[in-house]
Amino acid sequence: MQSKKGFIITGIVLAAITAGSFTIWLIPQNNQSVVTISNPKDQLDALIDQQKTISESDFVEFDKLISGQITPDNYLGIADVSSSQIRSMIISITSPDVPSNWKSSYESFGESLKAYNTYLRETTVIAQKLKESPSA
């Protein structure tokens, strides 16, 4: 009889713990992630360096395309990856809260990134034309 009582008490305790755990787990958490830039200058410098690396690589690959060292399909793939990276950078600089004295610098860099992405689209048009008529 005592073993039955022990099983019942143990079952009740386990059920209470399980119910409590699920209740805590199901309560919605209001955790909004906030990106905080600790040093806006370093963040901007890192993004500028990243953009320079991407653009230098793109210029080299475009020259290879024009000289016939790579195919238009290869260049289109490279330009697509670069454009995706640039879009990610644009998103990353528009989402965080930056101090007001850095806002104009971030906005200017964002405009620069958008202009570079436009340039990439224009080079992909050239690559498409070369793909359609390789003798051009």
Name the DSSP letter for residue 30.
Answer: -
Distances (CA, A) of 21 to 7, 15, 26, 35, 39: 21, 10, 9, 30, 40
Per-residue pLDDT at 2: 66
Looking at residue 67, its pLDDT comes to: 92
Non-local CB neighbours of 71 within 8 Å, separated by 6+ positions: 131
- When pLDDT is cut at 50, 70 and 90, the band that residue 35 belongs to is low
Please compute the mean of the pLDDT values over residues 36-45 and round it to a whole number: 80
DSSP, collapsed to helix, strand or coil, labels residue 125 as helix
**What per-residue confidence (pLDDT) applies to 80?**
94
Q: Give the mean pLDDT of 5-29.
A: 76
What are the pLDDT digits (tens) for 42-94?
888 999 999 999 999 999 999 999 999 999 999 999 999 999 999 999 988 88
pLDDT given at position 13:
79
**Residue range 35-46: average pLDDT?**
78
Locate 123 and state its tokens.
């080079």
Domain borders along the chain are 40-132
Q: What is the pLDDT of residue 34?
A: 55
- Taking residues 92-112, report their average pLDDT: 85
**Confidence (pTM):** 0.67
Residue 40 confidence class, pLDDT cut points 50, 70, 90: confident
